[in-house]
Structure 1
Amino acid sequence: MIDSSVSCPVPTEQQPVNEYEELKSAWLFRDCAGNWRNYLTRITWIYGLSWLVSGPVSAGSFPPHKYIWQFLLSGAAGASLGSVLILIRLYLGWSYIRDRLSSPVIFYEESGWYDGQTWTKPEEILTRDRLIVAYQVQPILRRLQLTFASLVVLYIAGTIVWQIF
């Protein structure tokens, strides 16, 4: 049980646990914290929307009626760039929260950039925050890392197929 009498000078919106809750409910980030189906659906939608840009560019370079494989592969590579950019944003956001929760010392700003302070977390708050990292944030980061690894495998497979055709 966390002692509610512990005085925390950190503004409410800058407290790591509140930053975590806010990120967890944010539009782009909430599907990472949910089940695999919602997460993969969101990534697939992003990939599909990226095809709206990469498809015409790919068709301009490789007319589909002449170079179907090159068109498909270059379009897929271009579309995955949109997914990669979103995944990088997700990873950076969640790793920032992981670092803030794991850190025993929190940097915060009282009223502006010119008056930054630090606060050392009491042991019970540090323990709570590290449990959140271990059971909530790390699985999300592993999911994102697995997605990155899958994209690398697909890039390699696409490169091999490109060489064949």
Structure 2
Amino acid sequence: MIKSSVSNCPVPTEQQPLNEYEELKTSWLFRDSTLNWRKYITKIVWIWSLSWLVAGPVAAASFPPHKYIAHFMLCGAAGASVGVVLALVRLYLGWFYVRDRLYSPTVFYEESGWYDGQTWTKPLEILDRDRLIVTYGIKPILRRLQFTSAGLAGLFLIGTIVWRLL
């Protein structure tokens, strides 16, 4: 029954919300947010570590490590966290966009260009399927990203307190 409704769907294949979801799940950055907690945190730490390649020299120029090791470490860690923040924002916005497309009862799509957009109303069985995907597939990822962002904000707060105590 779902097959017939999907076959009547006028939305181009690459713009169908389910296909956008499947594509997002397999893309290199976005699939990392679907991993178990240990692997996910490992990927976040990798991003943070690679960000040190830029943040470290900038922090060293501001606070020479041989004189101000604590300030250098805090400044470098905060600077490297910018890479993590950018990655989290990109992940959140991507998943949020697909969540909205899946959850919506209508789908806006473009037939041949930006100037001729159309709207398709999903049949009930497709809407139910898409909302189940949102509930069990995307909402846990968005919660994980929110939790990670809150944890990062907490680390920034701790770093700020330590900085003030130095």
- What corresponds to 1:34 in structure 2? 35
Residue type matched to 2:133 in 1?
I
Q: Stretches of 4+ moved more than 3 A in 1?
A: none
TM-score by length of 2: 0.97
Structure 1: which amino acid aligns with 2:4?
A: S
Q: 1:151 Cα deviation (Å)?
A: 0.5
Partners of 1:82 and 1:71 lie apart in 2 by 17
Cα distance in 2, alignment partners of residues 144 and 47 from structure 1? 15
Q: Distance in 2 between matches of 1:3 and 1:24?
A: 22
Q: Which residue of 1 aligns with 2:101?
A: 100
CA-CA distance at 1:91 after TM superposition: 0.3
Root-mean-square deviation (CA, aligned residues, Å) is 0.7
1:70-89 to structure 2, matched below 5 A, reads 70-89=71-90
Task: Name the CA distance, whole Å, in 1 between partners of 2:62 and 2:147.
Answer: 31
Paired residue secondary structure (2:82): helix
Instruction: Give 1:150's aligned residue.
Output: 151
Q: Match of 1:69?
A: 70
CA distance in 2, matches of 1:101, 1:62: 48
Q: Give the whole-Å Cα distance in 2 for the aligned partners of 1:52 and 1:140.
A: 28
Distance across 2 between alignment mates of 1:3 and 1:76? 50
CA distance in structure 2 between the partners assigned to 1:37 and 1:17 by the alignment: 28
Partner of 1:5: 4
Whether 2:128 is the aligned partner of 1:123: answer no
Deviations 1:61-81 (A, max 9, x none): 001111111000000000000
Match of residue 57 from structure 1? 58
User: Partner letter of residue 158 of structure 1?
Assistant: G
Q: Which amino acid aligns with 1:163?
A: R
Aligned residues: 164
**Letter paired with 1:24:** K
Shift of 1:31: 1.0
| Deviation at residue 88 of structure 1 after TM alignment | 0.3
User: Equivalents in 2 of 1:38, 1:25: separation in Å?
Assistant: 16
Q: TM-score, normalised by structure 1?
A: 0.97
Deviation at 1:3, TM superposition (A): 2.5
Superposed displacement of residue 103, structure 1 = 0.3
Alignment of 1:125-140 (within 5 A): 125-140=126-141
Segments of 5+ residues of structure 1 without an aligned counterpart are none
